[in-house]
Amino acid sequence: MNLYNFTIEELEDYFVQHGDKKFRAQQIFEWLYRKRIENISEMTNLKKELLEELEQNFTLNTITLVDREEDIDVKKYLFRLPDGEHVEAVLMKHIYGESICVSSQVGCNMGCAFCESGRRKKVRNLEAHEMVEQILLLEKLEKIRISHVVVMGIGEPFDNYEQLIKFISIINYAKGLAIGSRHITVSTCGIVPKIKEFSHLPYQVNLAISLHAPTDEIRKQIMPISKVYPMEELIQALKEYISLTNRRVTFEYILLNEINDSTECAHLLSDLLRGMNCYVNLIPYNETSHIDLKRSTKKSIHNFYDTLKKRGINVTIRREYGGAISAACGQLRSKKEER
């Protein structure tokens, strides 16, 4: 068992079941997330017998850094997991703090046409501790504190729902890493039943949707998930999410040359989203050598932006990070595996 895999409640249960006090869990969280110990033996305020028991039953750090690429405000890391698989994380420096983009699965089954991560099918889900460790390891390596977390790396987080929620609970705990729920964003390609579950979550976590098309017809060409959950169901679930949580939804929209970037697409998108509490983040496509899709021209990007804006949609163009390094989802891992 890995100690970073436990929520505070699970650790309290563990100690109560083992005839110990509930508050032990808080002591352990303090050692793990405040004092940042590397070995269980460093928990010096615990009795010898308990320490021995913990050392026998639990592990701590399991992921290691194997590669790193750096640009001005962005760094990309490749980690090796205990079973030899690899995942990536990206660190971005913003004026408001350091934000990390974490992976949630090894590979991905969603099969989006434009995405490097999904070129390799899902091998397995990450366990919560493997997501937590991405944060801890980067904080240690870079001597920083991370303030914002986005789950937008390799994988579909809603296809690993249970571990995702555990991860959120662990990093959000006030006496642990204490990353505020408003500073956590989960991005999904649109798994409707999980969006519904997420609407009832007792955390104020942000939700982002990879929409990338204004109609089912176009969306089905690039995102197979829309054959399972069509646009109408997706938008309906999001409207319910917004009314239940009172939170604004972010729509991510990659602009792909001559696929989804026409003025007509912008009109259709604004009709679809009109009146919703949302904003659209336009993403210039990060081209990758294995995939034959091209990014939209500067002119179409600005035309798309202007059209949405004129029609009253909140819209931004994503500031580009990591163009010079392999920062598009899954690129660093692909490179590693080709070597």
Q: What number of CA atoms fall less than 13 Å from residue 267's CA on the CB side?
A: 3
Q: Which stretch binds ligand SAH (CB under 6 A): 48-56, 106-114, 192-200, 309-317?
A: 106-114
- 112 or 273: whose CB is closer to ligand SAH? 112
- 24 or 334: whose CB is closer to ligand SAH? 334
Read out DSSP for 215-279? SHHHHHHH-THHHHS-HHHHHHHHHHHHHHH--PEEEEEEEBTTTT-SHHHHHHHHHHHTTSSEE
Minimum distance from CB of 115 to ligand SAH (Å)? 4
- 152 or 269: whose CB is closer to ligand SAH? 152
Catalytic residue chosen out of the listed positions 108, 112, 115, 329: 329
Q: Does residue 131 bind ligand SAH (CB under 6 A)?
A: no
With vertex at residue 78, the alpha carbon angle to CA 73 and CA 81, rounded to the nearest 5 degrees, is: 145
Burial of 243 (0-12, 13-18, 19+ CB in 10 A): exposed
| Residue 25 · residue 11 · CB < 8 Å | yes
Q: Does residue 114 bind ligand SAH (CB under 6 A)?
A: yes
Catalytic residue chosen out of the listed positions 12, 88, 156, 252: 88
Minimum distance from CB of 288 to ligand SAH (Å)? 5
Q: Which of 160, 163, 187, 300 binds ligand SAH (CB under 6 A)?
A: 187
- 3 or 110: whose CB is closer to ligand SAH? 110
- 9 or 258: whose CB is closer to ligand SAH? 258
- 37 or 317: whose CB is closer to ligand SAH? 317
Minimum distance from CB of 222 to ligand SAH (Å)? 9
Sites for ligand SAH among residues 198-227 (CB under 6 A): 210
CA dihedral sign, ordered 29, 132, 94, 92: positive
Tokens of 298: 């500067």
Q: How far is it, in rounded angstroms, from Cα 165 to Cα 188?
A: 14
88 is known as an active-site residue: yes
Sites for ligand SAH among residues 13-72 (CB under 6 A): none
* DSSP state letter for 23: T
Minimum distance from CB of 87 to ligand SAH (Å)? 12
69 is known as an active-site residue: no
**Which residues is 92 bridged to in the sheet?**
74, 99
Minimum distance from CB of 175 to ligand SAH (Å)? 29
Sites for ligand SAH among residues 240-299 (CB under 6 A): 252, 254, 283, 285-286, 288
Residue entry with tokens 């109408």? 232
Sites for ligand SAH among residues 134-173 (CB under 6 A): 152, 156
Tokens of 168: 């959120």
- 6 or 114: whose CB is closer to ligand SAH? 114
Q: Does residue 127 bind ligand SAH (CB under 6 A)?
A: no
Q: How far is it, in rounded angstroms, from Cα 153 to Cα 151?
A: 6
257 Cβ contact partners less than 8 Å away, ≥ 6 residues apart: 285, 293, 294, 295, 296, 297, 300
Minimum distance from CB of 320 to ligand SAH (Å)? 9
Q: Does residue 329 bind ligand SAH (CB under 6 A)?
A: yes
Minimum distance from CB of 232 to ligand SAH (Å)? 19
Q: Does residue 77 bind ligand SAH (CB under 6 A)?
A: no
Helical (H) or strand (E) element with 124: strand 124-125
Instruction: Report the length, in residues, of the chain.
Output: 339
With vertex at residue 179, the alpha carbon angle to CA 64 and CA 27, rounded to the nearest 5 degrees, is: 75
For the chain, the farthest-separated pair of C-alpha atoms sits apart, in whole angstroms, at: 70
Residues taking part in catalysis: 88, 329
Which residues bind to ligand SAH, rule: CB under 6 A? Answer: 110, 112, 114-115, 152, 156, 187-189, 210, 252, 254, 283, 285-286, 288, 328-329
